[in-house]
Structure 1
Amino acid sequence: MKNRIITYFLLAVLFSSCAKMQNENERRASPNLLFIFADQYRRASLGFLEEDPVKTPNLDNLAFRGVFFSRAVSNHPLCSPYRGMLLTGQYPLSNGVISNCNSARTQYGNYLKKDDTCFSDVLVEQGYSAGYVGKWHLDGPTSTAKGEPVIWDSWCPPDHRHGFSFWYAYGTHNRHNQPYYWATNSAEDEPIMVNQWSPEHEADVLINYLQNNEQQRDWDKPFAMFWSINPPHTPFDQVPDKYKKQYGARDYREVLGRENVQFTSNIDVKGGDRGVERQIHLAPDYFAMVEGVDDQIGRVIAELKRLGLYENTVIVFSSDHGEMLGSHGLMHKNVWFKEAYEIPLIVHYPQEIAPKKEDLLISVPDYMPTVLGLLGLADYIPRAVEGKDYSGMFKGEEVVRPDKQLYFGANPDDPSGGKRGFRNEEYTFAVVKGKEGAKYHYLYHDKQDPYQLSNIWGENPELDQKMEQELEALLRQMNDPWL
């Protein structure tokens, strides 16, 4: 009897060890993930589209060998809200990141919550070694009273990092040539000061991470690296001369070829950033930064290839939002026009997915579930996620395609105000709430008017009514107080 018990015990240990080895082998075989998003990088600045005067050979190659989503948008075209949607798979009203994080807005809880189950949390729970490099911009600095200087940057404590065991990041600053970072074990008063262009320095950090000479990640686990590049965000002129030289003495009027560019501010649009007269001359520097970002991404991809990791790594390239660069007489973001609203989205994994151009009306909250599905982790998508898993289309499966994409803009102190709208297959529609309840409507027939030059609101009452009804139904579905 005693011998039989010992035999059963040994068999149990053997089976447990075999199962453990099989599980470890499966983890090793799981694809790695490199998720790159550049701040303020507009869709038109993908070189292969031949819209902006840029050369982006590395991103072009990813698009040619991967899936290029030609109609991706940033539903709230602003830094922190994009990041909140990306990591939670929820829209801003649900995750609470309604505007950019800073000390003046902290009192409204406008930051990523410690107990949210994020993209990275799921990956770590399913055996990934996760890292984050670059701009975080999801924590709230200590709240400041009205009238006090607003604080933008903040250190992110380890228990707010949602499973990222490798950390080389900052809250938010625009010091492209002299950035600083907090490393994994840096104390709040111990930032690492750097005298190097931030994308180049971050590429160095990533290459070192991939080589793993300092044990930054677990060798036995697949890695999930999120790389948040600040350029081509302002200030545009903080870019190395070697990239500026690509544009020589070219005038900003020469490089801005879009039909809707205006060199004076548009006072007729009740939204977006003014100041075009002060900043439009820096357009060549924006494009120089775009080319520099592509160059640094190319260095990291080359290292993936050298280390034999390229074929088993899913590479995603996206952006927080776009950049107006004078289109419609506006600068920067936070508006419904294509230049700010449309963003790049490329998913590259040639080992599993065939190259194609995909016109799915995908939204940022869809990224998390779709990538988890591609990684074979669809069963672990959190219930709170509002985005949809479209990973089936990578395998040629039919998916229920969305018929519209939300456009959202609000401040955390008054979520019932601001801007709302949507884009469907033909139209872009937006409504801005002004003072004392006034509403300003903007409707563009994108198929016939690709540069959105003519606001057709008021020309067809039946179409106007249809747009308003569809927007109301969409917002009611999301329990939006804007209604």
Structure 2
Amino acid sequence: MKNRFITFLALASLFSSCVKMQTEDERKASPNLLFIFADQYRRASLGFLNEDPVNTPNLDSLASKGVFFSKAVANHPLCSPYRGMLLTGKYPLSNGVISNCNSARTEYGNYLKKEEICFSDVLVENGYSAGYVGKWHLDGPTPTAKGEPVVWDTWCPPDHRHGFSFWYAYGTHGRHNQPYYWATNSPEDEPVVVDQWSPEHEADILINYLRNSQQERDSDKPFAMFWSINPPHTPFDEVPEHYKKAYGNRNYREVLNRENVEFTSNRDVKGGDRGVEQKIHLAPDYFAMVEGVDDQIGRVIAELKRLDLYENTIIVFSADHGEMMGSHGLMHKNVWFKEAYEIPLIVHYPKALKAKTDDLLISVPDYMPTMLGLLGLGESIPQEVEGKDYSGVFTDEKIVRPDKQLYFGANPDNPGGGKRGFRNKEYTFAVSKGKDGEKYYYLYHDKEDPYQLTNIWGQNSELDQQMEQELEALLKDMNDPWL
């Protein structure tokens, strides 16, 4: 592949394989990478978009000076599948992480495999010191039989960490106010329990990592730090009071300003999370968490600047998936509507990239090859990767731009079931299979109906047929058992 990195960084050459290491001079010239992704953070909650009522000055600043991808989506809007796609550059059916990892799904191979060549593996093989902080949610707990309690969290042994030499993480839990973590050398039975809001505590850990006072990283190498922040994921009300104050006197009906919000559950949408009546009143707390996350990201950025690391650090902000928060009478994720499907994607590196907004139809498997291309490691992208290297976008090169983005939803015990669809520049199309095999169709003209209020399936038979044919061709190309 063509080296897409800016020439003034003076990288001596491209690398012919993942095992070819950088020279010392090349390492010194290479930028650091800080890849941040917040869980359940919807695109509309970026303050500069003026959609949700949030205040996010730090993310706004990153976007104003970086590249904002306005059409980024979570192809499978769920925690573990996003992480699997991000790290492997492959779609769920290929990497095996088809749904959220837990003990009921381990027997189906629903976890990140040790033999996968991951984003972090490639970085380490090319001279990076890699670290991971926060929620991992990619391991398979010991399988449990049907009817037994399902186990969600599990310890990740060092030989399953895919090159991350600094580790301060957990599988998955919802303890924002009293989180626990396994440190790099923590035994399985000795997690570190903390009485502190998790984003704030993790920011403290990252600040110490950057200072490197205890040799948390190899100071002779560039660092690649992946920070997975659990909030604004549920439980929404586990957020410090000083962040809640901004919304303390506002009713949830005031803050939910989207035209498609419904305050009772929508039974007409097959395959969406309901329970709106029990959860939607916590909307102010969700937005409070968004502001809190931005605040903690700002602390880390301030430390990068203080340590003179900011100018040579690529900062990426993304999210696992979005949050419906009452739109279409639904809660949470795992559905094709914009509120769950669309996610933030900001790439900030003013030293080499000019600020702009780009409407590339980028998918999560594209992140790994695109970032490797930006780092000058295009020739080290594993052959098995299904995503594409779109790093030419950063330097305004002419590229072949994708014309659609896959939407996928399934369980590992029935990979041919669930939901499938795609989005192009004009429409969102999705099909949901019921347990009896019956199909339910959803088609939205996003250009004319930005809040997706009207399902136009059945109004134009020619358009319907075109959508079905395009979806069939896409799934056939991916060897999807849905067909």
Shift of 1:299: 0.1
Amino acid at match of 2:272: G
Whether the 8 Å contact between 2:335 and 2:341 is mirrored in structure 1 is yes
AA in 2 matched with 1:226: F
1:130 is aligned to 130
Matched, 1:438 2:438: yes
Q: Which residue of 2 aligns with 1:156?
A: 156
Q: Distance in 2 between matches of 1:411 and 1:71?
A: 26
1:386 aligns with 2:386: yes
Greater mean deviation of Cα atoms: 348-357 or 23-32: 23-32
State the distance in 2 between where 1:364 and 1:234 align: 22
Aligned to 1:7: none
3-state secondary structure, aligned to 1:437: coil
Aligned partner of 1:232: which letter? P
Q: What is the SS of the residue equivalent to 2:226?
A: strand
**SS of alignment partner, residue 33 of structure 2:** strand
1:143 aligned onto 2:111: no
Give the match for residue 12 of structure 2: none
> How big is the shift at 1:390?
0.4
Partners of 1:296 and 1:70 in 2: how far apart?
Answer: 23
The one-letter amino acid of 1:95's match is N
- Matched ranges for 1:59-458 at <5 A: 59-458=59-458
Shift of 1:393: 1.3
Count of paired positions: 464
Unaligned runs of 5+ in 1: 1-20
- Looking at structure 2, the residues matched to 30 and 402 of structure 1 have their Cα atoms a distance apart, in angstroms, of 29
Residue-by-residue CA offset, 1:420-444 (whole Å, 9 max, x unaligned)? 0000010000000113221000000
Match of 2:266, SS state, is: coil
The amino acid that maps onto 1:357 is T
- Normalised to the residue count of structure 2, the TM-score between the two structures is 0.95
Distance 1:54 1:420 in 2: 32
Report the residue type matching 2:74 in the other structure: S
Mapped contact 2:361–2:401 kept (Cα < 8 A): yes
Report how far residue 23 of structure 1 moved: 1.8
In the alignment, structure 2 segments of 5+ residues that lack a partner are 1-20
Q: CA deviation at 1:248?
A: 1.7
Q: Secondary structure at the match of 2:473?
A: helix
- State percent identity of aligned pairs: 83
Q: Distance in 1 between matches of 2:139 and 2:121?
A: 17
Q: Considering only aligned residues, what root-mean-square deviation do their CA atoms show, in Å?
A: 1.0
1:35 aligned onto 2:35: yes
Q: Deviations over 1:180-235 (max 9, x none)?
A: 00000000000000000000000000000000000000010000000000000000
Aligned equivalents of 1:176, 1:275: Cα separation in 2: 22
> Secondary structure at 1:133's aligned position in 2?
strand
Per-residue deviation, residues 441-471 of structure 1 (Å, max 9, x unmatched): 0000000000000000000000000000000
The answer to whether the Cα contact below 8 Å between 2:22 and 2:127 also exists between their aligned partners in 1 is no
**In structure 2, do the counterparts of structure 1 residues 398 and 187 end up closer, same or farther at CA, with 3 Å as the change threshold?**
same
One-letter code aligned to 1:140: G
Work out whether 1:480 is the aligned partner of 2:483: no
Give 1:22 deviation, angstroms: 9.1
CA distance in 2, matches of 1:416, 1:30: 43
**Cα separation, 2, equivalents of 1:364 and 1:272:** 21
> Residue deviations 1:3-32, cap 9 Å, x none?
xxxxxxxxxxxxxxxxxx992122011000
Checking the alignment, whether the CA contact within 8 Å between 2:129 and 2:217 is kept in structure 1 is yes
Give the TM-score normalised by structure 1.
0.95
User: CA separation in 1, counterparts of 2:479 and 2:105?
Assistant: 22
Inter-partner Cα distance in structure 2 for 1:22 and 1:340: 40
Deviations 1:22-52 (A, max 9, x none): 9212201100000000000000000000000
Supply the distance in 2 between the matched residues of 1:212 and 1:393 (Cα, whole angstroms): 34
3-state DSSP of counterpart to 1:298: helix
Distance 2:255 2:208 in 1: 36
Q: CA deviation at 1:396?
A: 1.2
Distance 1:437 1:107 in 2: 24
For residues 358 and 25 of structure 1, the distance between their equivalents in structure 2, rounded to whole angstroms, comes to 33
Distance in 1 (CA, whole Å) between partners of 2:437 and 2:318 is 36
Larger Rg computed on CA atoms:
1
Contact 2:22 2:126 in 1 (8 A): no
